[in-house]
Amino acid sequence: MNGIEPHANPDQESIIEQIINDQIDIHSVEELEPLLDVFPDNPALYRKFADLLAGRKRADAAMLAYHKAATLYLDAGMVLQSIVAKILEWSIVKPSHREGHDFHAMVRRKGGGDMPSQVLFSQLNYEEMVTLMLRLTRVRLSPDEVVYDAGQESTDIYLIVSGELTETLPQIEGAASATAITLAENDIFGDIFPLEEESLCLARVVATSAVELVKISKPVLKATCYRYPRIRELLERLSRIRTPQGSRAWQTVRRSCRYCLPADISVEFTSDNTGNKRVVNGTTRDLSTGGICVVLKSDTTRSDIDALLKQKPTLTILEGNRTVIDGLTGNVAWRKTVGRMARPTHIVGITFDPMAEETAIALNAFCTISNDEQDMIWNLWNHLVRH
């Protein structure tokens, strides 16, 4: 992966998003593993964990982690992301036909959706899907890295696994400015059609964030489509689809807020052997019914953190000075210090203990509504309210 200068911003962004995007560096498997206890259903975190394991040549563990990531992605309707995790899993141990068929059945059953890559994989039969999976090559890009320029010979077609890029069409004479379109996860791009002739890139495509793509080259696709013409039909049609700019804008916003709403947190614990209670405060943007990542306020001392690690904290979720949910207990599973040495920011990941049904429902209501509902709210907010 291309290196990205860490620029953690724990006060304003999701900690999990920052870890996944490498804005908060985690190089050690041991450091990431406890975080999976806090967020056991996060597919991107499992994918990150699997990549770390694979990098450490721990093939068996990596294979299991990729398998878990693929399953969680599919549960979340993220077909392409699941397929990429599966490609990586199967690159370690070749699957049996049974496993392949089972995975294909799951893609057909749980897949679907409106985005181009979702449509693509939900419509392929088993042979077509496996053939395409075998031919996809992974590409990682850093922000500002150019995929191709207008006028350059077109050599590949790309599917966006994660991240964002800008596609800029050359400025038309008389137009005020060039047309720029945001491409994001599940989009397909690349001007390689018709496959039988040389073709030129019609636009400039540049990564605007850390990006993961999968690509297939023109000659390979041409050979593949000779036997499987439906792959060509689908790719040709879907690579021309561009999501309207308004919709794309909200999707970008949603991604940064997917895990939860920002909230204030109070963490109470016993500070020493005398049983004195201590309260530290913080904020969170990473909350699930399984656990929470709390960014502690700047007045939290290292001794507070050390004491907190040894104790069983009780958490209260606040909105302003009002208690929204209280009585949550758990264990500190993970800690991280980011920022400058002179002014460090402490982050803790806490797994929740089993909780009363009413608390679980309240917590679920607080941190989750469905992606569809959330998307519609953001989309409408952009259109109707945003100034």
For residue 63, list its beta bridge partners: none
Min CB(167)–another protein separation in Å? 27
- Residue 220 near another protein by CB under 8 A: no
Q: Considering only residues 29, 261, 309, 355, which one is a binding residue for another protein as defined by CB under 8 A?
A: 261
Closest contact distance (angstroms) between CB of 129 and another protein is 21
The window from 83-91, 165-173, 300-308, 367-375 that contacts another protein (CB under 8 A) reads 367-375
Among residues 202, 319, 337, 353, the one that binds another protein under rule CB under 8 A: 319
Among 4, 61, 76, 139, binds another protein (CB under 8 A): 76
CB 375 within 8 A of CB 387: no
String marking each residue 78-117 x if it binds another protein according to CB under 8 A: --------------------------------x-------
Does residue 365 touch another protein according to CB under 8 A? Answer: yes
Give the interface segment with another protein, choosing from 42-50, 92-100, 184-192, 370-378 (CB under 8 A).
370-378
356 binds another protein (CB under 8 A): no
Q: Considering only residues 129 through 168, tell me which ones interact with another protein, judged by CB under 8 A.
A: none
Q: Is 373 an interacting residue with respect to another protein (CB under 8 A)?
A: yes
**C-beta of 224 vs 284, nearer to another protein:** 284
Which range, of 59-67, 308-316, 320-328, 330-338, touches another protein by CB under 8 A?
320-328
Q: Which stretch binds another protein (CB under 8 A): 63-71, 197-205, 216-224, 377-385?
A: 377-385
Stretch that binds another protein, among 61-69, 123-131, 167-175, 374-382 (CB under 8 A): 374-382
* Sole window of 62-70, 131-139, 203-211, 363-371 interacting with another protein (rule: CB under 8 A): 363-371
Contacts of 300 (CB under 8 A, 6+ apart): 280, 282, 346
CA atoms of 11 and 8, how far apart (whole Å): 9
Instruction: Give the 3-state DSSP-derived string for the chain, with helices as H, strands as E and coil as C.
Output: CCCCCCCCCCCCCCHHHHHHCCCCCCCCHHHHHHHHHHCCCCHHHHHHHHHHHHHCCCHHHHHHHHHHHHHHHHHCCCHHHHHHHHHHHHHHCCCCHHHHHHHHHHHHHHCCCCCHHHHHHHHCCHHHHHHHHHHCEEEEECCCCEEECCCCECCEEEEEEECEEEEECCCCCCCCCCCEEEEECCCEECCCCCCCCCCECCCEEEECCCEEEEEEEHHHHHHHHHHCHHHHHHHHHHCCCCCCHHHHHHHHHHHHHCCCCCEEEEEEEECCCCCCEEEEEEEEEEECCCEEEEEECCCCCHHHHHHHHHCCCEEEEEECCEEEEEEEEEEEEEEEEEECCCCEEEEEEEEECCCCHHHHHHHHHHHCCCHHHHHHHHHHHHHHCCC
CB atoms near residue 322 (< 10 Å): 8
By CB under 8 A, tell whether 320 contacts another protein.
yes
In the complex with another protein, which residue's Cβ is closer, 193 or 378? Answer: 378
| Residue from the set 97, 98, 322, 340 that interacts with another protein by CB under 8 A | 322
The verdict on 377 binding another protein (CB under 8 A) reads: yes
Q: How far is the CB of 377 from another protein (least distance, A)?
A: 6
214 vs 260, beta carbon nearer another protein: 260
Is residue 376 close enough to count as binding another protein by CB under 8 A? yes
Q: How many residues bind another protein (CB under 8 A)?
A: 35
> How many Cβ atoms from other residues are within 10 Å of residue 281's Cβ?
15
Please provide residue 114's backbone torsions phi and psi, each rounded to the nearest 5 degrees.
-100, -15
Interaction between residue 370 and another protein (CB under 8 A): yes
Residues that bind another protein (CB under 8 A): 75-76, 110, 253, 261-262, 318-325, 358, 361-362, 364-366, 368-374, 376-378, 380-381, 384-385, 387
